[in-house]
A and B are shown apart, each in its own frame.
Chain A
Amino acid sequence: MSGILVIAEQRRGEIRPVSLELIGAAESLKGAVGGPLAVALIGPSVDALGAGLNVAGVDEILLVATGSGDYDPDTMGAAVAALVKARDPSLVLLPHSVDSLGYAATLAASLDCGFATDVFKIEHGPEGIVATRGGYGQKVNVEVDFPGRATVMLAVRANVYKPPEGAGSATVSTVAVDAVDARVKPGEYIELSSADDVDMTAAEFILTIGRGIGEESKVEQFRELADAVGATLGCSRPIADSGWLPKARQIGQSGKTASSCKLYVAMGVSGAIQHLAGMKHVSTIVAVNTDPAASIFTVAKYGVVGDIFEVAEELRTHF
């Protein structure tokens, strides 16, 4: 066998958008790697959700109904292993997501396959698959290859590839896999909420503070500045982890996405990849940071290299 196998992801009764991005990635590689392009959906309610994967380029949809909840690493790992063994694909794409972090590397330990994670570029050359990922805090790009591997499994970064446009004409089949003993039992989902009831996803103007503020006593100064300029105060991960601002104000992969934001002012935020995931799409980003090499300047439209307290104080006089 050959072809590409995409592992779709579902949560709380919905297909996660990254699944369609992976199909977009697979479709762009189908010519070089070879078909068919099969997409597998594993978990509960696969019959109802499977149709959502029938987009341009998909040849087969494989529905794997499992008895447990949305996700547990043992069930997912065993189902993906069974599909890979049965189909022997040249390329397996799965999302670089919290769910796959729980089973993909475990699987790579037992399968004889090439493996890389957080991949944002995939090429197929004369020597096979070449995947590109970041290194040293995303300061460099790293090309990795997989000599001698008939199957390569890649966990692909979200928000990189575009979902295909248009409907597909895939065949749909049900695949049975042996049930396994799930040693991790899924429980309830818990939404982060906060006493101040802020909705970062609705905010059009966000002023975000990061590690650069240094100490908790400085938060108030920026809260006052945000109020004065008419912005919603946000923060990066270290500020929320320290409890200086509620987790509901955290922008980034594990926090909130600045979905409605048009103007984003980042003060003392270095720009870790997880933070950028929540805001790099904003049309006007302004960054103030003491470090001229900070990653935040690679996504910002305007940058100021300087002391955030001095800049904040001067900025306040204009409002």
Chain B
Amino acid sequence: MKILVAVKQVASLDEDFEIRADGRDVDPDFLVRDLNEWDDYSLEEAVKIKEAGGEVEVVAVTIGNDDADEVLRKCLAKGADRALRLWDDSMEGSDPIAIGRALAAVVRKEEPDLVFAGVQSSDHAFAATGMALAGFLGWPHAAVVNQLTYGAGTTTAPIRRELEGGLLQAMEIACPAVLSIQLGINTPRYASLRSIKQAAAKPIEVLGIADVGLADADVGEAGSRSRVRRMYVPEKGRAQMIEGTVAEQAAKLAAIIKDVTGGAA
């Protein structure tokens, strides 16, 4: 059995970042990259299924240039058996729908029994890639899953969706399926130093779009449903900052609390 886990190398911003000259993204020099937090949970969920028994192969897949090898190494260190990266320069400017199409092409090639994606990415938070991928495949799909019961040979898996306001819903999904995995479904492990060393020596399979049967028109802006027009720093409200020593700050805080709650000053 095979589980494919789609992962993303996300970017967060340096404190004093600058917008790129064309105004459509942040200057890449100011981006700090890491594995998307949600993907850490979906990888863990796959590795847990593997450890529960049976012949299970966990394949981590990402879309990106060779900078993204770093997150694949992290996945290998945390228990993925194989790592696969798909990239072509024509993929620049892909929105989540184009990424979903590309991942679907990888799934067709790999033929897994189950596909996981994180609910969303911490940088652009479209929360769309996993379910778009399911759309291109025509597979059963469910989003924001925070509980899954699955073993080799499962044809219908019990899941729970995490809804708004502290509500959950139990559902049953036909497999093979695509699930978007929510934070909190498990406790992701830390990679040991030994496994990090071992992962550094493992190969990363690199594919181009032609290898998965895609053309330039399927990816990048041409294959996307939206296009970034402008990126800018919004004017935001700012708290009134309480300065001074810790003792002074705490005294002011205490006064605010007593003032609002009506306690004696």
Contacts and interface: CB of A to CB of B under 8 A. Distances in A.
Given A101-B119, A140-B232, A114 B226 contact: yes
A43 to B, nearest CB: 14
A144 B93 CA distance: 12
Contact of A102 (B131, B233, B239): B131
A134 interface: yes
B241 A305 contact: yes
Interface in B165-181: 165-174, 177, 180
Given A73-B143, A117-B126, A101 B180 contact: yes
Given A256-B165, A303-B241, A314-B250, A114 B143 contact: no
A97 interface: yes
Nearest to A77: B135
Which of A116, A299, A301 gathers the greatest number of chain B CB atoms within 10 Å? A116
A113 B132 CA distance: 13
A1 to B, nearest CB: 20
Which of B19, B122, B228, B229 gathers the greatest number of chain A CB atoms within 10 Å? B229
B12 interface: yes
B231 A318 contact: no
Nearest to A273: B125
A315 interface: yes
A192 B147 CA distance: 14
B85 interface: no
A145 interface: yes
B132 A106 contact: yes
Interface stretch (B67-75, B192-200, B252-260): B252-260
Given A143-B229, A229-B257, A183 B241 contact: no
A307 interface: yes
A311 B173 contact: no
A262 interface: yes
A241 to B, nearest CB: 4
B78 interface: no
A135 interface: yes
Contacts of B172: 184-185, 187
B123 to A, nearest CB: 5
Interface in B107-163: 119, 122-136, 140-144, 160-163
A310 interface: yes
Contact of A302 (B132, B228, B233, B256): B256
A105 B131 contact: yes
A247 B172 CA distance: 24
A302 B242 contact: yes
Contacts of A105: 96-97, 100, 126-132, 135
A190 B246 contact: no
B239 A315 contact: no
Contacts of B183: 237, 241
Which of A144, A184, A189, A257 gathers the greatest number of chain B CB atoms within 10 Å? A184
A205 B263 CA distance: 12
B210 interface: no
A116 B226 CA distance: 7
A190 B144 contact: no
A140 B231 contact: yes
A131 B169 CA distance: 31
Nearest to A303: B239
Interface string B10-23: 01110101010000
B184 interface: yes
A140 B134 contact: no
A307 B246 CA distance: 9
A135 B19 CA distance: 12
B147 to A, nearest CB: 10
B226 A242 contact: no
Contacts of A302: 239-242, 252-253, 256
Given A136-B124, A191-B168, 13 more contacts: A98-B162, A102-B141, A118-B125, A131-B226, A137-B125, A142-B230, A185-B171, A257-B165, A286-B256, A298-B238, A303-B238, A304-B249, A319-B254
Of all A-B residue pairs in the complex, the 10 with the closest CB atoms, nearest first, are A109-B135, A314-B250, A303-B239, A318-B254, A187-B170, A106-B135, A105-B128, A241-B184, A183-B140, A300-B239
18 contacts: A71-B169, A73-B142, A98-B143, A108-B132, A117-B128, A135-B231, A140-B231, A144-B228, A144-B229, A185-B173, A190-B168, A241-B184, A254-B162, A254-B166, A263-B257, A286-B253, A305-B241, A314-B246
